[in-house]
Amino acid sequence: MTTERIRSLYQARPFKPFTIHLADGRQVPVVHHEFMMLGPSGRTVVVQQPDETLNIIDPLLVTDLEILPNGPASSRRRKR
């Protein structure tokens, strides 16, 4: 997986929540762009979860990026 692809999802406006799939089978959700940081060199991705735990990820271990169909923000909208 390329850092450019991760960066493009991170910088997308409007932001769409996505899941980072790792080689060891873990899945790391990114629910908002403010909860993610890309290191300047592109060799580290840090994702903070709503419970304040941190995931420190080597982009070379990312196998897939999955854009989530319905993010948390869309479920909070009121229907009229």
pLDDT tens, 23-60?
Answer: 999 999 999 999 999 998 889 999 999 999 999 999 99
Helices (H) and strands (E) in the chain, counts: 2, 6
Band (pLDDT 50/70/90 cuts) for residue 1 is: low
77 found inside a domain? no
Number of domains within the chain: 1
List the CATH number of the domain containing 51: 2.30.30.100
pTM of the model: 0.81
Grade residue 14 by pLDDT with cuts at 50, 70 and 90.
very high
Q: What pLDDT sits at residue 42?
A: 87
Which range marks the domain in which residue 10 is found? 3-69
Residue 43 lies in a domain: yes
78 part of a folded domain: no
3 state DSSP class of 64: strand
Q: Would residue 10 count as lying in a domain? A: yes
